[in-house]
Amino acid sequence: MMISDDKLCLWKETKTIGIIGLGDMGLLYARKFSEAGWKVVCCDQEKYFQELSLKYAAEKFEIVLNGHFVSRSSDFIIYSVEAENIDKIVSLYGPSTKVNAIVGGQTSCKNPEIKAFEKHLPSDVDIITVHSLHGPRVNTEGQPLVIIDHRSKQKDSFEFVDTLMSCLKSKHVYLSYEEHDKITADTQAVTHAAFLSMGLTWAKLKVYPWTMGISKWNGGLENVKINISMRIFSNKWHVYAGLAITNPAAHQQVLQYATSVTEIFTLMLDNKKEELRERLYKAKQFVFGDHTGLLLLDSSLLDKYSLNKENGSTDAEGKPLRNSHLSLLAIVDSWYQLGINPYDHMICSTPLFRIFLGVTEYLFLNDNLLEETIDSAVNDLEFRRDDLEFVISARSWSSIISFSNFELYKTTFEGAQKFFEPSLPEANRIGNEMIKTILSHSK
């Protein structure tokens, strides 16, 4: 959407952008908007006012005491708060919203956000909400950015928000909030469940999977699994809890993932190799049957991004130990069982989802590797203990999410996070490099 330079200059001179919540994503938006020449005012909890005023004194945005000061002075207000708190915080500051302002949010599940806006905002306020489909440490350029025009009565509201967001240089995707929530469940819920289960498994086993002497996780696929899992555990728990717990569509998908993990593991234990192969090849045909062209990933990209500084465990012939790849087999099986084609939502996908889809492609579209994995799942015992713990982890996350237990989610997440804490800075550095390279390649 193109506007004249005169109109853009007038907006920058007369409009104020407000951000309530200065977490990682709120801070990213505050910096991007203010550096692009917009007037930006921000707040977090009142108790942090002095601390944040000093911390960001050199920034181009202004820190104010609380959301009342943001709401009464801003023409576009973005609530950048945890999904579980959105209703409470909008009820506090919504009534102070400036007349004829626009309000949006950044939560990853829009249903509770929209309900809070409709319940607590004055009727003259327009509701245009957004969601950047990436984390705070990913370059915004070229990433999907969903813009949802839920309620706009004023002529220029949508054009204004669309223009403001253009400074992120993201790819704008226009959806309803219902479409957004279905797509984010399809592309994120199971992806997060898989990586959360990996991390929880390693923490429960007290295993750093990249460590010499303990490691059985070597090679490109293993590098991705380790790096993405560590990347998730280097973030804040509420980022993932909000999507999983507040989005009803996500509940069904996380439950199916846990079910797929359990049923595949049962086939492994029962030595039902042909039944396992038949099930996986049906899933392969459903998900990848129409696949043409290059894979999203290749081994030359993946092999160099390892936390392992030494060679890990090998078999008698000096090759890395074969892995059952239970986590990857189950993701494709769960897509099949749910009738989800992951390629349908690529325009709205997160970097993690595109990488995880690339990893499953790499496994399922390499016939030799898939056959080796099926054989290993049934006949090799080196990963059997790890797979058992993985089943328990996947079912644990499913139970936590189905009971909508934020506190248990936080306790479980932060317990595993604490175990990996010493390695998270290095994991983040390598993970950032890996994601940047893989996304560049996947274009």
The sign one gets for the Cα dihedral 227, 344, 348, 408 is: negative
pLDDT above 50 for 162 = yes
Q: Supply the DSSP string of 142-206, one letter for each residue.
A: TSEEEEEEEE--STTHHHHHHHHHGGGT-EEEE--HHHHHHHHIIIIIHHHHHHHHHHHHHHHHT
Report the SS3 class of residue 39.
strand
Cα separation, 194 vs 356, whole angstroms: 10
Residue 223, pLDDT score: 77
Residue tagged 């993946």 (tokens): 302
Domains and CATH numbers, the chain: 5-175 (3.40.50.720), 179-442 (no CATH)
Residue 312: the pLDDT is: 44
171-182 pLDDT, tens digit each: 999 999 999 999
Q: What is the pLDDT of residues 286-331, one digit of tens each?
A: 999 887 666 766 655 555 555 565 544 444 445 667 889 999 999 9
At residue 1, what is the residue type? M
370-411 tens-digit pLDDT? 999 999 999 999 889 999 999 999 999 999 999 999 999 999
Reduced DSSP (H G I as helix, E B as strand, rest coil) percent helix, strand, coil of the chain, to 5:
60, 10, 30
How far apart CA 284 and CA 365 sit, in angstroms, is 8
